[in-house]
Chain A
Amino acid sequence: MKNQKTYRFYFLVLILILIITFIISISLGTVSIPVREVIISLFGGEPLKSSWKYIILDYRLPKAITAILAGGGLAVSGLLMQTLFRNPLAGPFVLGLSSGASLGVALLILGTGIFGISFGGFLLGSWSLVIASAFGSFLVLLAVLSVTFKVKDTMTILIIGLMFGSVTAAVVSVLSYFSNAEQLQQFVFWSFGTLGNVSWNGILILFFCITIGLWISILTTKSLNALLLGENYAKSMGVNLKLATFWIIVATSLLAGSITAFAGPIAFVGLAVPHLTRQYFNSSNHMVLLPAVFLSGAVLMLICDTVAQLPFIELTLPINAITSLLGAPVVIWLLVRKRKLFF
């Protein structure tokens, strides 16, 4: 355990990096706006061009905030899952949440054609996608939770979560097979993930869900720390395993579920960020790891979002691809350097 001063220094550096990446992310984009004007707009002033203010406040700022919430939230839910299942390969989606979400969205987009029900163009707006996705995640969550009340072994829960994922993925495949090109394209676009489609109202809901999810996570840190020794030891130290498992899963579902609903399935962040954070923080204490993982996830997502902007080119790459493209080499490099990846 490093002393508190080292941690405080690390946290300060992380917050500083977060602020810098936040400003960079807002400054860059298809329209180039000077950093000075960006800061003026952020603090309510009038930039040189009024369109700049509109771009920043109504487009880039919500996107950057979504990136922070999504990156941090996914990373924390990954940490929770890795500790709960004591498995370094676990991530926010091991319980089948993203598959549930994709099933919901697939039923909405692809199912309309097959079942001959027309929701009309109006319903296929962004809100209906959010609702379908949240509904799908929620159903899978209910299924997983009902299983956790019957099954004691966390490894069994892990495998059942993966099975739910397989089933929903299969249903999505069948739906895709019977869909037309236009619908398929719409579905594929959703699966790319996007940070830019969240309105201020959406951000408010997302913020609400993430805050509750984080708060529950903080309440479970003591149990999470005890779980580092294994279930039997945790039990012998007075941890109510069933209750702890329940709340950890609820927190993960709130975090990962709400993010998937608004930003689509974003891979990799949840799996990799906890590992990266453990490497430089060198602690297993969740009281330290939880805020550190949140900040790191937010930073990584902001960087990925900035890269996805592709400055000077009028294109935005899918965020889901960028997180993996950028993150995987980092993790591979760390693994090769350290040779071992403990959790």
Chain B
Amino acid sequence: MSNNYSNNIIEVKNVSIGYSNKKDTFIVSENINFSINKGELISIVGTNGIGKSTLLKTLARIQPQKNGIILLNNKKFNEYSTLDIATQLSIVLTESPSSKNITVKELVSLGRHPYTNWIGMLTEMDEKIIEESLIDTDTVNLVNKKCSELSDGQLQRVMIARALVQDTPIILLDEPTTHLDIYHRAYILKLLKDLANKKKKTIIFSTHEIDLAIQVSHKMIVMTTDKIYFDKPEMLIKLGCFENLFPSETIEFDNELKQFILKK
């Protein structure tokens, strides 16, 4: 196995995910096992409602895990303080920022939050990191725009810039390609791939773009009702994971083309 133990950044062992209120606990998915290495680009795919977002939110510690162990840098997830987690993990969610009035510069700068002093003052180093992230995401020309003036693709890039500014080894993204056209979808995925390869960021994202995800991901998490598969895309194709992902009467997975095609 290429699975070098010291390279292991996230390890998930027998984890159940779900949500609970006072009386009941709803388990969305259980027996989740995988371990992710530094600098890997991992995609999570599966049908709607299978628990992709819940898994991501659990990994971001927005939602508590129900069972099992999550290790971050070989240390138990729950032993981290909120502020420590903020220096390890940054997120890009499907929800857009609450304030529409906020400018791109202000929004991206907020990523320095875990590092700034009590008043949120930006140091020269902070400014440098912000500028770098703006360049990496091609958002320099947007800095003075308000969030309400951005297109979906621009906003997505800005949110990724903010996550980069947070300067964490791991970035989690929930469906970063929704609402985007094919060009921008490819653009975002290529950006993520570059960040993983060049900046050695560990990136985990959920997506419905299975075809594109197969092309860019180092490994994939395929969530089905029975089982959760975790492997390299080619292995998953060999195993036939994608064939059973959706009911087979309308679409089927073509192993040669590595994509779904409409049934005639």
Query: Given A229-B107, A232-B95, A238–B102 Cβ distance below 8 Å?
Result: no
Report Cα–Cα, A113/B57, bound state, in Å. 58
Taking a contact as CB atoms under 8 Å apart, the answer to whether A230 and B106 are in contact is no
With an 8 A cutoff between CB atoms, is A27 at the interface? no
With an 8 A cutoff between CB atoms, is B244 at the interface? no
Contact check: which of B62, B103, B119 meets A232 at CB < 8 Å?
Answer: B62
With an 8 A cutoff between CB atoms, is A228 at the interface? yes
Report Cα–Cα, A227/B148, bound state, in Å. 17
For B111, what are the chain A residues with a Cβ–Cβ distance below 8 Å?
A: 237
Taking a contact as CB atoms under 8 Å apart, the answer to whether B113 and A238 are in contact is yes
Mark each residue of chain B from 116 to 144: 1 if its CB lies under 8 Å from any CB of chain A, else 0.
Answer: 10111000000000000000000000011
Taking a contact as CB atoms under 8 Å apart, the answer to whether A232 and B93 are in contact is yes
Mark each residue of chain B from 76 to 119: 1 if its CB lies under 8 Å from any CB of chain A, else 0.
Answer: 00000011011101110101011111110111001101101011
Taking a contact as CB atoms under 8 Å apart, the answer to whether B82 and A222 are in contact is no
Q: Known A-B contacts: A218-B119, A287-B120. Give 20 more (CB < 8 A).
A: A86-B99, A219-B118, A222-B118, A222-B119, A225-B120, A226-B110, A228-B102, A229-B97, A229-B110, A230-B93, A230-B98, A233-B91, A235-B82, A238-B82, A239-B113, A283-B103, A283-B106, A284-B103, A287-B119, A343-B99
Taking a contact as CB atoms under 8 Å apart, the answer to whether B106 and A222 are in contact is no
Contact check: which of B89, B101, B106, B120 meets A236 at CB < 8 Å?
Answer: B89
A-B contact count (CB 8 A): 93
Q: 22 A-B contacts, Cβ less than 8 Å apart?
A: A86-B98, A219-B118, A221-B119, A222-B118, A226-B113, A228-B99, A228-B106, A228-B107, A228-B110, A229-B97, A229-B107, A233-B93, A236-B85, A236-B86, A237-B113, A238-B87, A239-B113, A240-B82, A284-B102, A285-B106, A342-B99, A342-B101
With an 8 A cutoff between CB atoms, is B166 at the interface? yes
Which residues of A pack against B, CB within 8 Å? 1, 86, 218-219, 221-222, 225-230, 232-233, 235-240, 278, 283-285, 287, 340, 342-343
Query: Given A1-B105, A230-B97, A235-B62, A225–B83 Cβ distance below 8 Å?
Result: no
With an 8 A cutoff between CB atoms, is B60 at the interface? yes
Query: Given A229-B97, A236-B90, A287-B119, A342–B148 Cβ distance below 8 Å?
Result: yes
Report Cα–Cα, A283/B86, bound state, in Å. 25
Report Cα–Cα, A235/B144, bound state, in Å. 26
Query: Given A229-B98, A342-B100, A221–B120 Cβ distance below 8 Å?
Result: yes
Contact check: which of A86, A218, A222 meets B113 at CB < 8 Å?
Answer: A222
Residue of B60, B99, B102, B120 contacting most chain A CB atoms (<10 Å): B99
For B113, what are the chain A residues with a Cβ–Cβ distance below 8 Å?
A: 222, 225-226, 237-239
Taking a contact as CB atoms under 8 Å apart, the answer to whether B62 and A229 are in contact is no
The smallest beta-carbon distance between A154 and chain B, in angstroms, is 10
Taking a contact as CB atoms under 8 Å apart, the answer to whether B119 and A278 are in contact is no
Taking a contact as CB atoms under 8 Å apart, the answer to whether A236 and B97 are in contact is no
For A226, what are the chain B residues with a Cβ–Cβ distance below 8 Å?
A: 110, 113
The smallest beta-carbon distance between A1 and chain B, in angstroms, is 5
Report Cα–Cα, A132/B91, bound state, in Å. 48
For B87, what are the chain A residues with a Cβ–Cβ distance below 8 Å?
A: 238
Closest to B84 in A: A238
For A285, what are the chain B residues with a Cβ–Cβ distance below 8 Å?
A: 106
Contact check: which of A236, A278, A343 meets B91 at CB < 8 Å?
Answer: A236
Report Cα–Cα, A31/B116, bound state, in Å. 54
Closest to A341 in B: B101
Query: Given A228-B110, A230-B95, A284–B101 Cβ distance below 8 Å?
Result: yes
For A287, what are the chain B residues with a Cβ–Cβ distance below 8 Å?
A: 119-120
Contact check: which of A222, A229, A232 meets B120 at CB < 8 Å?
Answer: A222
The smallest beta-carbon distance between B10 and chain A, in angstroms, is 16
Closest to A234 in B: B113
For A229, what are the chain B residues with a Cβ–Cβ distance below 8 Å?
A: 97-99, 102, 107, 110
Taking a contact as CB atoms under 8 Å apart, the answer to whether A228 and B86 are in contact is no
The smallest beta-carbon distance between B160 and chain A, in angstroms, is 13
Report Cα–Cα, A235/B143, bound state, in Å. 24
For B114, what are the chain A residues with a Cβ–Cβ distance below 8 Å?
A: 237-238
For B85, what are the chain A residues with a Cβ–Cβ distance below 8 Å?
A: 236, 238
For B62, what are the chain A residues with a Cβ–Cβ distance below 8 Å?
A: 232, 235-236
For B98, what are the chain A residues with a Cβ–Cβ distance below 8 Å?
A: 86, 227-230
Report Cα–Cα, A71/B118, bound state, in Å. 27
Report Cα–Cα, A219/B85, bound state, in Å. 22
Report Cα–Cα, A298/B240, bound state, in Å. 69
Mark each residue of chain B from 243 to 259: 1 if its CB lies under 8 Å from any CB of chain A, else 0.
Answer: 00000000000000000
Closest to B121 in A: A287
Taking a contact as CB atoms under 8 Å apart, the answer to whether B97 and A233 are in contact is yes
Taking a contact as CB atoms under 8 Å apart, the answer to whether B93 and A284 are in contact is no
The smallest beta-carbon distance between B73 and chain A, in angstroms, is 17
